[in-house]
Amino acid sequence: MEEGVLIPRPETELLVDEVLKRLDKAEPAIGIELGVGTGCISITLLIHKKELKMVGNDINIKALKLAKKNAKRHGVSQRFLIFGGSLFQAVRPFAFDFLVSNPPYIPSYLWESLPKALRFEGYNSLIGGMKGWEFYQEVSKELDKYIKKDGFFVFEIGHDQGSVIKEIFEPLGYKVEVHKDYSGQDRVAVGWRL
C-alpha cells in the first residue's frame, strides 16, 4: 500500500447512492469531484451511469496517478478528466450537474489522537483545518459558479458537522439535507438551490 492514499470506506457508498438517486439514468450528465484521491467515488459513479462524465482534481499527485490507473482498469478513463490542483483553482466556471466531495474534515487538534492506521492516509487527506470544516466554507464561496441552477452538491461530512454545513450553505440560498451513516452519525450532506 502507498502512503498518502486513502483506503475507501463503506460510508463512501452512501455518498455515491445520494448522487445516483438524483440523476436520471438515461440523461447525459457531467459532475465535478474535488479531492478525488484514488478515484473511488468518481469511478464508481461512472461505472453505474454510462451517460455520465466526471471532472476531478486533487492536490496529491501520487493519488492522482493511482486514480488514472484505476480509471483505466475499470474502463472509464475516456469519461474521467483528472488533473492536479486545489479546490476550483484550475477549473473554469462551468454549469456542472453536481459537485461531490469527500474532503478532509477532521479538526487539526485531533491529529495526534488519531489511530496510526488512519494517520497513514496523510494529514492533507484528513485534516480540514483548525475547525475541520474549512474546506466546505471555501467551496461555498464559489459553488454558485460551478453548479447549474437546478444542480446539487453531495459532501461526506464529520459525525457532528450537519448543523455547521447548514449554517454555511443555507444563508447562501441552498436547502441542505443531512443523512446519517450506519451508526447513526451525521455523514452525508446534500444541498440544492431553493
Ligand X SMILES: C[S@@+](CC[C@H](N)C(=O)[O-])C[C@H]1O[C@@H](n2cnc3c(N)ncnc32)[C@H](O)[C@@H]1O
Q: Which residues bind ligand X (CB under 6 A)?
A: 6, 8, 12, 34-37, 40-41, 57-60, 63, 86-87, 102-104, 124-125
Between 53 and 57, whose beta carbon lies closer to ligand X?
57
Q: E strand or H helix at 119, and its extent?
A: helix 116-119
Burial class (CB in 10 A: 0-12, 13-18, 19+), 179: middle
Per residue, the 3-state secondary structure of 131-191, as one string, reads: CCCHHHHHHHHHHHHCEEEEEEEEEECCCCCHHHHHHHHHHHCEEEEEEECCCCCEEEEEE
Q: Which is nearer to ligand X, 103 or 191 (CB)?
A: 103
- Closest to ligand X by CB, 23 vs 36, is 36
Q: Which residue has the cell 457532528?
A: 160
User: Please, what is the minimum distance in Å from the beta carbon of residue 54 to ligand X?
Assistant: 12
For β-strands 147-156 and 186-193, DSSP reports them as antiparallel
Task: Choose among 54, 108, 60: nearest CA to 80.
Answer: 54
Give the nearer residue to ligand X in terms of CB position, either 40 or 99. Answer: 40
For the bound state, the minimum distance from the C-beta of residue 149 to ligand X, rounded and expressed in Å, comes to 25
Q: Least distance in Å: CB of 56 to ligand X?
A: 8
Backbone angles phi, psi at 36, to 5 degrees: -70, -25
Residue of 136, 153, 135 whose CA lies nearest to 193? 153
124 vs 137, beta carbon nearer ligand X: 124
Smallest distance from the beta carbon of 41 to ligand X, in angstroms? 5
CB 143, min distance to ligand X, A: 14
CB of 26 to ligand X, least distance (A): 27
Residue 183 to residue 176: CA distance in whole angstroms:
21
Which residue, 29 or 188, has its beta carbon nearer to ligand X? 188
